[in-house]
Chain A
């Protein structure tokens, strides 16, 4: 009798689970960790659609999606990955730019000295032994970091100090755990409580690296395309943009005009 009841309960749970399956699976670049909780809360309240996030490097998701990963929406930290997916017919429509990311130079409290907002000379300071960046092979922020270091002509000098995180969150974590004194990370991550507590940051001049326009696509394989498009629209709406601004992103006005 007891067993039957348990089975019945499990079945009931399963059924209710599938009945309210209004749930979007979203692959999101790691720099979105901060804003997405708030975005999700607001969006779910408005529409009743639940959002389930996976965070990682954009390149990683790109490879997964190309191989059929069952996501509904892909929020990349750049435009090229969504564009390539679009060209290979994996998306429902063209990529929509939803944010402009910013690169910052983050320095641990253990290393003294003033940060300049004009260059990256600080990377050559005596107290800097390890510089954490995201892996430029598959993380857009890693590419931006390398471009900025090349632009300010410090790359060759500091090359041997570079350590690479799998994605931009792991890069921040290398620095936050006290293993690297300096990190080139996303502003959105530098604004988190733990990073603010253990260090300080300065925004890297935006002309030193190609702009980090971040684009979203709804995937062709999605079963909830209507809701997925609604989510991307919400992200680009004034309400969505306000949250993004709060968490260190800029509105992609230039990109939208393009």
Chain B
């Protein structure tokens, strides 16, 4: 078992899912409640990573990170380094790639909050921010947890994008999924199997927790 890759993957997924919570909660609130006519455009962009092959994203990210692109040059100018083959680059890629997995459950959860409660809070003089933080979020917290867990799990499982922009550097960009691929390539089936099995058990457990939690809350809620 490659412990270094495991620690790296855990760090990557934690960072990505935390960033997704910071960015995702306000974005999901907006998507859930906004009445702008062009909201569908934002929704489509958020959902893109679900349908795009990771290779499309990896390809564009690689060129965006490169010093031939405006963004790449700007970043290099400011920080003195490039984003490709770095941990930071992978975090950015993971945030983009896991965005819908964080957002979609939260939007669904926020929308299912009883709007009468929201209206009541507003008529009692609560600010929009107060309504969101003290009425909507506490009522919809299972969906926030779902978004957090799903985006974490999805970041753990990311492969194509990492393969294309990671450069397979041990301790920096060699995540578990890349490590499994390498082991298979090098015909170390035993070691590949060990890592793969660990991931399988881990992912199953995570999903059981998410769905178990949701089911329990639903059953309780209907009582």
Contacts and interface: CB of A to CB of B under 8 A. Distances in A.
B101 interface: no
Contacts of B163: 166
A177 B62 contact: yes
Nearest to A130: B85
Given A110-B67, A177-B63, A179-B66, A163 B185 contact: no
A57 B62 CA distance: 20
Interface in A144-173: 162-166, 170, 173
B167 interface: yes
A58 B168 CA distance: 18
A126 to B, nearest CB: 13
Interface string A44-78: 00000000000001011001001000000000000
B187 interface: yes
A163 B172 CA distance: 10
A228 interface: no
Nearest to B186: A137
Nearest to A138: B185
Interface string A115-137: 00000000000000110100101
A59 B6 CA distance: 25
Contacts of B67: 110, 178-179
Main secondary structure of the interface of B (DSSP, over half): loop
Interface in B14-41: none
B168 A130 contact: no
Contacts of A132: 167
Nearest to A164: B168
A247 interface: no
A174 interface: yes
Interface residues of B, number: 22
Interface string B69-101: 100100000000110110000000000000000
B68 A178 contact: yes
Given A129-B81, A130-B82, A130-B85, A174 B185 contact: no
A179 B182 contact: no
B169 A162 contact: yes
B84 A179 contact: yes
Nearest to B80: A129
Nearest to B183: A137
Contact of B168 (A59, A60, A135): A135
Contacts of A138: 182, 185-186
B193 to A, nearest CB: 14
A174 B187 CA distance: 25
B37 to A, nearest CB: 38
Interface in B122-175: 163-164, 167-169
B81 A164 contact: no
Contacts of B63: 177
Given A59-B186, A63-B187, A130-B167, 11 more contacts: A59-B185, A60-B185, A110-B67, A132-B167, A135-B168, A138-B186, A165-B167, A174-B84, A178-B68, A179-B65, A179-B84
Interface of B: 62-63, 65-69, 72, 81-82, 84-85, 163-164, 167-169, 182, 184-187
Interface of A: 57, 59-60, 63, 66, 110, 129-130, 132, 135, 137-138, 162-166, 170, 173-174, 177-180
